């Protein structure tokens, strides 16, 4: 397995465009993680409610069926 030092060393030898793509992916991952943590904290504070998965999937199915009309 590569170490952080190996990854950084390899990244520093890449073209600028490749570095930008990698940075974009890392930032996107961090933002998603932060959003998930924010939602968990809001749920724990009672600010948002959970929705059963069945209900979510049924809503998606209904939307997809409406689009097919």
For the chain, give every domain's residue range. 4-68
**Rounded Cα gap, residues 58 and 69, in angstroms:** 17
Cβ contacts of 34 within 8 Å, gap of 6 or more: none
Retrieve residue 19's tokens: 């570095």
- Assess contact for 12 and 20: CB atoms under 8 A: no
Taking the C-alpha atoms of 29, 32, 37 and 39 in order, what is their torsion angle to the nearest 10 degrees?
A: -170
- Assess contact for 47 and 36: CB atoms under 8 A: no
Mind listing the pLDDT tens digit for each residue in 9-65? 999 999 999 999 999 999 999 888 888 999 999 999 999 999 999 999 999 999 998
């Amino acid at each position: 397995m590569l170490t952080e030092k190996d990854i950084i060393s390899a990244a520093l030898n890449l073209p600028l465009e490749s570095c930008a793509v990698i940075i974009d992916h890392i930032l996107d991952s961090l933002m998603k993680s932060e959003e998930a943590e924010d939602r968990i904290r809001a749920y724990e504070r009672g600010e948002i409610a959970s929705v059963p998965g069945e209900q979510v999937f049924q809503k998606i199915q209904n939307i997809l069926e409406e689009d097919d009309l």
